[in-house]
A and B are shown apart, each in its own frame.
Chain A
Amino acid sequence: MKTKWYFFFLTTIAVSAVIYALLGIQDEESVEIGVLMIGENRYEKFDGLKAGLEDLGYSNKEIQYIVKNANNEEVLLDTQIDELLGSKPDLIVTLGGIETQRLKGKMDARKIKIPVVFAGLAAPKELGLIKDYKAPGGLYTGINNYHASISGKRLEMLTSLVPDIEKVHVIYDSKIDVSELSLKETKASAKTLGVSVFPCDVGTKECMDTLWKSIKKKDAILVLPSFRIETLTDELVKLTQEKKIPSMGLYDFEAEKGLLASYGASFYSQGYQASRFVSLILQGNNPGDLPVELPDGIRFVINQQTKDSLGVTYNEDLLYIADLIHPEVQGGRKR
Chain B
Amino acid sequence: MKALLEFLYSQTIRNKVLVFGVAMSTIPLLLISLYYYSFVKSDLESRILEKQNLVLENLSREIEFEFNQTFQRIHVLASLNQLNKEKSALYELLQQNASIEEVIVADDKGFVEKRVSRYELNIAGDKEQWFSDEMWFHLQTDDKVFGQVEFNQYGQPVMKLAIPFYENDTKKALGVVVQLQKMIGKISSMRQDNSSYIYLLDEKDRVIAHQDYSKLWQKQSSRERSDEIGVTAKIDDLNWVLVMEQPKTTAFAPINRMLQNGIGAVALVILTVSLISVWAGLYFTRPIVLIDREMNNLKKGRKISPIKMKRTDEFGKLADSFNEMSKELLEKSKLLEQEKERLNVVVNGIGAGLALVTKEYRITWMNPILKGWLKEERLSLPCYAVIGGENAPCLNCPITCPDLGKIADEVMKFKDGANGERIFRHRVFPLNHAIEEEGEYLVVLEDITEQKQMEETMIQTDKLSALGIMASSFAHEVNNPLATINVYAEDLIDRIEARDEDLDEDEMGHYLRKIKENTERCKRITGNLLNFSRKNDWTEDHIKVKEIIENSISLVEHQLKKQRIQLELQVGDALPAILGDGLKLMQVLVNLINNAVDAMESEGRLIVFAERIGEAISIRVTDSGHGIPPEAMDKLFDPFFTTKPIGKGTGLGLSVCYGIIQQFGGNIQVDSNPGEGTTVEIQLTVHESMEVGDNVSNEIVSRGR
Q: Is A284's beta carbon under 8 Å from chain B? A: yes
Query: Given A276-B189, A285-B214, are A21 and B262 neighbors across the interface (CB < 8 Å)?
Result: yes
Most buried by A among B211, B213, B261: B213
Most buried by B among A144, A160, A321: A321
Q: Is A240's beta carbon under 8 Å from chain B? A: no
- CB pair B267–A192 under 8 Å, yes or no, is no
Query: Given A58-B191, A321-B88, A321-B95, are A296 and B119 neighbors across the interface (CB < 8 Å)?
Result: no
- CB pair B267–A13 under 8 Å, yes or no, is yes
Chain A nearest CB: distance from B63 CB in Å?
A: 16
Within 314-328 of A, Cβ neighbours of B (below 8 Å) are at 316-318, 320-321
Residue of A nearest to B197 (CB): A283
Q: Is B270's beta carbon under 8 Å from chain A? A: yes
Cα distance A76–B98 in the bound complex, in angstroms: 38
Query: 1/0 per position for B260-276, CB-CB distance to A under 8 A?
Result: 11111111101100100
Which residues of chain A come closer than 8 Å to B213, judged between CB atoms? Answer: 280, 285-286, 289-291
Which residues of chain A come closer than 8 Å to B274, judged between CB atoms? Answer: 10
Within 1-22 of A, Cβ neighbours of B (below 8 Å) are at 2-3, 6-7, 10-11, 13-14, 17-18, 20-22
- CB pair A293–B181 under 8 Å, yes or no, is yes
Instruction: Summarize A's interface: helix, strand, loop or mixed.
Output: helix
Which residues of chain B come closer than 8 Å to A320, judged between CB atoms? Answer: 88, 91-92, 95
- CB pair A279–B189 under 8 Å, yes or no, is yes
Which residues of chain A come closer than 8 Å to B155, judged between CB atoms? Answer: 132-135, 291-292
Q: Is B448's beta carbon under 8 Å from chain A? A: no
Q: Is B151's beta carbon under 8 Å from chain A? A: yes
- CB pair A280–B189 under 8 Å, yes or no, is yes
Cα distance A317–B92 in the bound complex, in angstroms: 8
User: Which listed residue, B86, B122, B182, B189, touches A277 by the CB 8 Å rule?
Assistant: B189
Q: Is A150's beta carbon under 8 Å from chain B? A: yes
Q: Is B179's beta carbon under 8 Å from chain A? A: yes
Instruction: Summarize B's interface: helix, strand, loop or mixed.
Output: helix
User: Which listed residue, A153, A273, A286, A317, touches B214 by the CB 8 Å rule?
Assistant: A286
User: Which listed residue, B181, B191, B262, touches A57 by the CB 8 Å rule?
Assistant: B191
Q: Is A162's beta carbon under 8 Å from chain B? A: no
Q: Is B411's beta carbon under 8 Å from chain A? A: no
Residue of A nearest to B215 (CB): A289
Cα distance A133–B667 in the bound complex, in angstroms: 148
Q: Is A262's beta carbon under 8 Å from chain B? A: no
Which residues of chain A come closer than 8 Å to B216, judged between CB atoms? Answer: 289
Cα distance A296–B99 in the bound complex, in angstroms: 7
Cα distance A132–B92 in the bound complex, in angstroms: 33
Within 87-140 of B, Cβ neighbours of A (below 8 Å) are at 87-88, 91-92, 94-95, 98, 117-123
- CB pair B212–A24 under 8 Å, yes or no, is no
Chain A nearest CB: distance from B16 CB in Å?
A: 13
Chain B nearest CB: distance from A196 CB in Å?
A: 17
Chain A nearest CB: distance from B209 CB in Å?
A: 11
- CB pair B122–A57 under 8 Å, yes or no, is no
Chain B nearest CB: distance from A85 CB in Å?
A: 26
Most buried by A among B118, B257, B278: B118
User: Which listed residue, B91, B156, B261, touches A291 by the CB 8 Å rule?
Assistant: B156
Cα distance A279–B192 in the bound complex, in angstroms: 10
Which residues of chain B come closer than 8 Å to A135, judged between CB atoms? Answer: 155
Chain B nearest CB: distance from A137 CB in Å?
A: 12
Which residues of chain A come closer than 8 Å to B191, judged between CB atoms? Answer: 56-58, 279, 283
Query: Given A14-B267, A25-B261, are A192 and B95 neighbors across the interface (CB < 8 Å)?
Result: no
- CB pair B121–A24 under 8 Å, yes or no, is no
Most buried by A among B86, B191, B265: B191
Q: How many A-B residue pairs have CB under 8 A?
A: 142
Q: Is B692's beta carbon under 8 Å from chain A? A: no
- CB pair A292–B267 under 8 Å, yes or no, is no
Residue of B nearest to A149 (CB): B119
Query: Given A11-B271, A192-B121, A296-B181, are A321 and B189 neighbors across the interface (CB < 8 Å)?
Result: no
- CB pair A133–B185 under 8 Å, yes or no, is no
Within 206-237 of B, Cβ neighbours of A (below 8 Å) are at 211-214, 216
Residue of B nearest to A130 (CB): B155
Which residues of chain B come closer than 8 Å to A58, judged between CB atoms? Answer: 191
Q: Is B188's beta carbon under 8 Å from chain A? A: yes
Interface size class of B (residues with CB under 8 A): 35 or more
- CB pair B120–A296 under 8 Å, yes or no, is no
Query: Given A3-B282, A320-B91, A321-B88, are A146 and B119 neighbors across the interface (CB < 8 Å)?
Result: yes
Cα distance A273–B185 in the bound complex, in angstroms: 9
Chain A nearest CB: distance from B17 CB in Å?
A: 12
Which residues of chain A come closer than 8 Å to B484, judged between CB atoms? Answer: none
- CB pair A294–B154 under 8 Å, yes or no, is yes
Cα distance A277–B181 in the bound complex, in angstroms: 12
Query: 1/0 per position for A147-179, CB-CB distance to B under 8 A?
Result: 001101100100010000000000000000000
User: Which listed residue, B98, B185, B278, touches A297 by the CB 8 Å rule?
Assistant: B98
Which residues of chain B come closer than 8 Å to A3, judged between CB atoms? Answer: 18, 278, 282
Cα distance A22–B262 in the bound complex, in angstroms: 10
Q: Is B190's beta carbon under 8 Å from chain A? A: yes
Within 279-295 of B, Cβ neighbours of A (below 8 Å) are at 282
- CB pair B156–A294 under 8 Å, yes or no, is yes
- CB pair B121–A152 under 8 Å, yes or no, is yes
Q: Is A114's beta carbon under 8 Å from chain B? A: no
Q: Is B327's beta carbon under 8 Å from chain A? A: no
Q: Is B186's beta carbon under 8 Å from chain A? A: yes
Residue of A nearest to B88 (CB): A317
Chain A nearest CB: distance from B52 CB in Å?
A: 15
Query: 1/0 per position for A63-92, CB-CB distance to B under 8 A?
Result: 000000000000000000000000000000
- CB pair B263–A21 under 8 Å, yes or no, is yes
- CB pair A321–B268 under 8 Å, yes or no, is no
Q: Is A112's beta carbon under 8 Å from chain B? A: no
- CB pair A10–B88 under 8 Å, yes or no, is no
User: Which listed residue, A21, A144, A284, touches B154 by the CB 8 Å rule?
Assistant: A144
Cα distance A273–B121 in the bound complex, in angstroms: 25
Q: Is B15's beta carbon under 8 Å from chain A? A: yes
Query: Given A133-B156, A294-B181, are A17 and B88 neighbors across the interface (CB < 8 Å)?
Result: no
- CB pair B189–A294 under 8 Å, yes or no, is no
- CB pair A153–B121 under 8 Å, yes or no, is yes
Which residues of chain A come closer than 8 Å to B118, judged between CB atoms? Answer: 153, 298
Cα distance A11–B267 in the bound complex, in angstroms: 9
Q: Is A275's beta carbon under 8 Å from chain B? A: yes
Which residues of chain A come closer than 8 Å to B271, judged between CB atoms? Answer: 10-11, 14
Query: Given A10-B271, A273-B185, A294-B179, are A134 and B260 neighbors across the interface (CB < 8 Å)?
Result: no
Which residues of chain A come closer than 8 Å to B282, judged between CB atoms? Answer: 3
- CB pair A21–B264 under 8 Å, yes or no, is yes
Residue of B nearest to A269 (CB): B98
- CB pair B214–A289 under 8 Å, yes or no, is yes
Chain B nearest CB: distance from A252 CB in Å?
A: 14
Q: Is A232's beta carbon under 8 Å from chain B? A: no
Residue of A nearest to B122 (CB): A156
- CB pair A21–B261 under 8 Å, yes or no, is yes
Query: Given A6-B278, A193-B121, A283-B211, are A20 and B260 neighbors across the interface (CB < 8 Å)?
Result: yes
Query: Given A56-B190, A291-B156, A321-B92, are A17 and B119 neighbors across the interface (CB < 8 Å)?
Result: no
Chain A nearest CB: distance from B419 CB in Å?
A: 68
Residue of B nearest to A278 (CB): B189
- CB pair A2–B15 under 8 Å, yes or no, is yes
Cα distance A192–B124 in the bound complex, in angstroms: 12
Cα distance A3–B285 in the bound complex, in angstroms: 13
Residue of B nearest to A155 (CB): B121
Chain B nearest CB: distance from A157 CB in Å?
A: 9
- CB pair A134–B151 under 8 Å, yes or no, is yes
- CB pair B263–A153 under 8 Å, yes or no, is no
Which residues of chain A come closer than 8 Å to B266, judged between CB atoms? Answer: 17
Cα distance A279–B190 in the bound complex, in angstroms: 8
Which residues of chain A come closer than 8 Å to B86, judged between CB atoms? Answer: 317
By Cβ-Cβ distance, the 8 closest A-B pairs, closest first, are A21-B264, A134-B155, A317-B88, A17-B267, A24-B260, A133-B155, A57-B191, A276-B189
A–B complex contacts, Cβ < 8 Å, 10 sampled: A7-B278, A10-B22, A146-B119, A153-B121, A192-B121, A285-B211, A286-B213, A290-B213, A296-B179, A317-B86
